[in-house]
Amino acid sequence: MKFATVLAGLFASACVSAAPAIDPNVAKELIKFPVEYTLVEYPDVGARDVAEFNNGDTITLQYSVSNQEDKEVSLVGVGGSFRDPTNNQIKTNLTAAAIGPYVLAPGQSQTFVQKVPLNLIPDNYLLTPEVYVFYNDEMKALSIRGQLAVVSDVTISLFNPQLLFLELVLAATVAGLAYVAYQIWGASYFAGTAPVAPKIRKTASGSTVVSDAAWLPDVHVKQKKSKKVD
């Protein structure tokens, strides 16, 4: 138990403060420590295939290791990176995480998993996982075979429930603003321009006379008032 605690502490220190000090070249001496992995969510994708990933998903790498060395090897962590497949330059690093630690005696095997959340710029990538081990009193990084992958954004359907809800909210908001605008400006405008019905009264002879000239144009009213009777 104490040994496992020491290994976990060493790995945490290496990841936080001295991860670059882990030299992947020195791990080449581990020639009898094969490490393989599969993509749990994509069982049909092989090492020579191109995996198609979607942003927002989390992929699971299931590792299988076997210690064929003549010395004890301890598995203490996982990490890796997404690289540019054309020049092998690192585009983004995977978050290093402690595992176990699993102490493997010669001839022993171990399986474990690594969760990788996807939040990348849509592009082509080479996924290159790494396993961190403690061997010969040194922390070493084992680079594993790469996996070609295409990372894309998820296409949202117009009939997606969340999108439909947002569309309804937007439509209700627009309708509400239109109603408020009509009550503030539209109603008063139409009320001011509506025609006023003239008042009609009957004379003693039975004929009808318009007694309210408010419906007439101002010019006509003024002309009528200024006209003299001969």
For 86-113, write each residue's pLDDT tens digit: 999 999 999 999 998 999 999 999 999 9
Question: 98: which residues sit within 8 A by CB, 6+ positions away?
Answer: 8, 11, 12, 15, 76, 77
Q: Which CATH class is domain 35-153?
A: mainly beta
CB 73 within 8 A of CB 33: yes
pLDDT score at 65? 94
Sorted by where each begins, the domain ranges of the chain are: 35-153
pTM value is: 0.60
| pLDDT bracket for residue 158 (50, 70, 90) | low
Q: Is the pLDDT of residue 3 over 90?
A: no
Q: What is the mean pLDDT of residues 191-201?
A: 59
pLDDT score at 202? 59
CB 215 within 8 A of CB 199: no
Chain CA centroid to CA 6, Å:
38
- Lowest-confidence segment of 79-83, 97-101, 145-149, 203-207 by average pLDDT: 203-207
pLDDT score at 196? 56
Q: What is the mean pLDDT of residues 58-80?
A: 94
Q: What is the mean pLDDT of residues 1-28?
A: 46
- The pLDDT tens digits for 15-27 are 433 343 444 444 5
Plot region of 100 (φ>0 → left; ψ -120 to 50 → alpha; else → beta) = left
Pairing of strands 200-202, 109-117: unpaired
